[in-house]
């Protein structure tokens, strides 16, 4: 996995003296977060920065899924920024469509999906390298957080990328409307906080001249309402299709994991059976070796007995000859 270290997080407190140290907290292995946080709070307190010390001490330990999202931010900044940029482009395209403009939603949607798929694969690598299981539930929560961050895009006040302590839920419809940039300007360039933007169609010169007619105003309102409803329905269909594809990908991942687990279990059973057979064969081989040694010992004893008997016969014959001579 590539490790493209970024510069600091985008959470609150960017001007605080302990910002760099706090950023490093969220880059540590998850098991080291709490002792490192407490040590940093103590150091800040000793240096006289009591407020910052209390703020650091209050930082909760991230959940596993939030920790993985943080690692992606710190280690794979280019891929992470591609996801945020794709989210910004998709939101801008939606704003243009809601404004009645002919806009291609498919391209930014595909770019966001590709960036999300890339980061999801990298998330599985982070889990594996850190010794955590990439369970379906953990991967689902990571994907949900990444989708939410893509929806927020550059506006990270609600989701400080790199310093997450819990999962991030996608914004609701009204909150989503607040994220739509005015006039196509990128949210990254604005310093004002998000606010709900009314989805009013700009009046044309002709319609402005006819604004005095009550009947014309009513027709115009009806047309605007129908246009908004059509755009909202299309946005909903796109979102539902995106959700369906994400669920299908998650289901395929779960099925692949189950298949791999079943295969591993089968291999373990086969290994156990082979080990049992090996142990039995080893025991039989040892018994055969013992029997061979016993038979060899008996054969050696028998050969010795033959030698002894032959010497006895020779001695008896010699004695007989000596007796006959006398």
Q: Which residues are bridge partners to 76 per DSSP? A: 4
Q: In terms of Cα–Cα distance, which of 178, 163, 194, 156 is closest to 72?
A: 163
pLDDT at 92: 84
Rounded to 5°, angle at Cα 174 from 172 and 176: 65
pLDDT interval class at 114 (50, 70, 90): very high
Count of beta carbons in the 10 Å neighbourhood of residue 306? 10
> Both tokens of residue 40?
């940093």
Q: Rounded mean pLDDT of 309-316?
A: 88
- Residue 4 three-state SS: strand
pLDDT at 99: 78
Q: How many CA atoms lie within 13 A of 22 on its CB side?
A: 28
Q: How many CA atoms lie within 13 A of 78 on its CB side?
A: 4
164 near 61, Cβ under 8 Å? no
Give the tens place of pLDDT for each residue, 207-248. Answer: 445 445 777 777 777 777 777 777 777 667 777 777 777 777
> Both tokens of residue 55?
């703020």
Cα torsion 95, 98, 102, 107 to 10°: value is 50
pLDDT above 90: percentage of residues in the chain: 28
Q: What is the 3-state secondary structure (H, E, C) of 32-48?
A: HHHHHHHHHHHHHHHCC
pLDDT at 287: 85
Q: Rounded mean pLDDT of 264-292?
A: 82
Instruction: State which of 171-180, 187-196, 216-225, 307-316 shows the largest mean pLDDT.
Output: 307-316
pLDDT at 159: 62
Give the tens place of pLDDT for each residue, 129-142. Answer: 999 998 999 999 99
Between these two residues, 182 and 316, which has the higher pLDDT value? Answer: 316
Could you identify the residue written with the tokens 């006040």? 157
pLDDT interval class at 172 (50, 70, 90): low
Q: In terms of Cα–Cα distance, which of 14, 57, 16, 27 is closest to 160?
A: 14
pLDDT at 82 over 60: yes
pLDDT at 59: 93
pLDDT interval class at 8 (50, 70, 90): very low
Predicted structure pTM score: 0.49
When the pLDDT of each residue in the chain is averaged and rounded to a whole number, the result is: 77
pLDDT at 33: 95
Between these two residues, 17 and 269, which has the higher pLDDT value? Answer: 269
Range scoring the smallest mean pLDDT among 127-131, 170-174, 242-246, 261-265? 170-174
pLDDT at 30: 93
> Both tokens of residue 54?
């209390």
Could you identify the residue written with the tokens 């064969």? 281
pLDDT at 176 over 80: no
pLDDT interval class at 321 (50, 70, 90): confident
Between CA 264 and CA 271 the distance in angstroms is 10
pLDDT at 201 over 60: no
Q: Rounded mean pLDDT of 150-169?
A: 76
Q: In terms of Cα–Cα distance, which of 87, 77, 80 is closest to 7?
A: 77
pLDDT at 125: 93
């Amino acid at each position: 996995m590539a490790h493209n270290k970024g510069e600091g997080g985008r959470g609150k407190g960017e001007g605080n003296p302990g910002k760099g140290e706090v950023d490093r907290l969220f880059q540590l292995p998850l098991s080291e977060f709490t002792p490192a946080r407490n040590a940093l709070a103590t150091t800040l307190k000793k240096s006289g920065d009591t407020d910052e010390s209390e703020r650091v001490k209050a930082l909760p330990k991230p959940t596993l899924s939030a920790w993985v999202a943080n690692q992606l931010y710190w280690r794979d900044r280019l891929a992470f920024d591609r996801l945020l940029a794709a989210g910004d482009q998709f939101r801008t395209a939606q704003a243009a469509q809601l404004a009645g403009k002919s806009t291609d939603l498919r391209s930014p949607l595909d770019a966001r999906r590709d960036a999300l798929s890339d980061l999801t694969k990298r998330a599985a690598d982070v889990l594996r390298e850190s010794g955590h299981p990439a369970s379906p539930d953990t991967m689902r929560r990571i994907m949900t957080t990444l989708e939410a961050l893509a929806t927020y895009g550059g506006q990270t006040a609600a989701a400080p990328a790199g310093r997450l302590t819990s999962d991030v839920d996608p914004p609701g419809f009204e909150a989503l409307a607040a994220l739509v940039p005015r006039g196509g300007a990128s949210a990254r360039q604005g310093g004002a906080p998000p606010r709900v933007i009314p989805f009013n169609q700009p009046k044309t010169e002709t319609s402005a001249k006819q604004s005095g007619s009550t009947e014309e105003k009513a027709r115009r309102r009806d047309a605007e309402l129908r246009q908004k409803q059509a755009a909202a329905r299309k946005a909903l269909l796109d979102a539902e299709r995106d959700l369906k594809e994400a669920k299908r990908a998650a289901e395929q991942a779960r099925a692949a994991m189950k298949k791999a687990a079943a295969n591993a279990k089968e291999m373990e059973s086969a290994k156990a059976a082979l080990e049992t057979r090996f142990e039995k064969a080893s025991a039989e081989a040892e018994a055969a070796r013992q029997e061979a040694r016993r038979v060899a010992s008996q054969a050696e004893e028998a050969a010795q007995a033959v030698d002894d008997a032959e010497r006895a016969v020779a001695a008896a014959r010699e004695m007989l000859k000596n007796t006959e001579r006398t």
